Amino acid sequence: MPGRGAAAGRANRGIPVSFVAEKNLRKACFFKNYMHRIRRTFVAATATLILVQEVWDNRFDLENPDRDVDTGREIIRDPAPMVKADDIKKTLEDIDNVLNKRKGVGGSPLAYITRDTLTLPEHTPGEINLGFGQPSREAELIRRTRHDGPAYRQDNIAVWAIIRHVTHGGSAWAWVLSFAGHQNGRAYLALRTHYFGDSYTTRAVTKADAMIENLFWDGRVKNYPLEKFFEQLNKAHTDLDENGEPVTAAKKVRRMLQSIRDPRLDAAKNSIMLSDAHKENLEASMSHLA
């Protein structure tokens, strides 16, 4: 208090501390705020200098989002608007890429806004608390950053702006329009659920099966090289894998060989079936035929 322990009219300026002590106190405060952000309990007795220093060393990234283009870091551009429904897979992949790379107000990747599970791992069946900073700092920030407070509200609006930019004026807008009033970035989940729900899975599997069943290559079409055939076959198998209908490696090879009808490749096809290194390896078989 002013005047106490000093001449009347002079403020008590407290106890002088060294620069090192002041800096350590700043580090401790920064670490405490960080623990609050990721919803971990701050326990002074366990806040070792190593842990505090680790977070302090990353403070620049946490305090300076990637939109600061003067830092020389990668500029994360918004995804292109979705033109047609068939582009939804690429569009969502592009959105995921942006949300995983672009940082929010508090330094967390914006992907924390759209995570599926809001409860902490230690309170979620089938999950465990991997411990501080695990499996990586970015993964922990995405999984644990709190969904409340001023930073969350600003980040949520930022994610909504991306969703609106991608969907407005197209067929996907109808599925996120109800989120516009509150500028809620979790509209992303509604978009994904609509396009990648059970009906999408059924359509994707049916289409991939039909592609594999009807696809063939005989070498007679000029504008249809063997590489294009391989590309289409790989995409069909990838679609089956991603939608829970995987095909064994051996069956993939057999189907491919049955679909190649160019007699000039008969010898190569036979050698594949006789080779342990090829008959259960689609990529190796394709390379052998190319």
Q: Tell me, yes or no, whether 107 and 145 share the same domain.
A: yes
Kindly state the average pLDDT of the residues 24-44. 91
Burial class (CB in 10 A: 0-12, 13-18, 19+), 277: exposed
Q: Give the end of a domain, one of 180, 206, 235.
A: 180
pLDDT of 2 above 70: no
pLDDT score at 116: 95
Integer Cα distance of 95 and 74 in angstroms: 16
pLDDT of 123 above 90: yes
Give residue 115's pLDDT band: very low, low, confident or very high (50, 70, 90). very high
> Is 245 part of a structural domain of the chain?
yes
Instruction: Give the list of residues 6+ apart from residue 166 with CB closer than 8 angstroms, or none.
Output: 78, 79, 80, 81, 82, 91, 95, 172
pLDDT digits (tens, 9 = 90+) for 65-75: 655 444 456 77
Lookup result for tokens 């002074």:
44
Q: Across all residues in the chain, what is the average pLDDT?
A: 89
> Is 71 part of a structural domain of the chain?
no
Q: Tell me, yes or no, whether 271 and 231 share the same domain.
A: yes
Identify which of 15-29, 83-97, 112-126 has the greatest average pLDDT.
Answer: 112-126
Contact present, 95 and 80 (Cβ < 8 Å) = no
Kindly state the average pLDDT of the residues 134-144. 95
pLDDT digits (tens, 9 = 90+) for 74-106: 778 899 999 888 888 899 999 999 999 999 998
pLDDT score at 242: 86
Q: Tell me, yes or no, whether 167 and 256 share the same domain.
A: no
What is the domain range of residue 275? 198-289
Contact present, 146 and 37 (Cβ < 8 Å) = yes
Residue percentage of the chain with pLDDT more than 70: 92
Is 257 or 106 the better-scoring residue by pLDDT?
Answer: 257
Q: Tell me, yes or no, whether 91 and 176 share the same domain.
A: yes
Maximum CA extent, the chain:
106
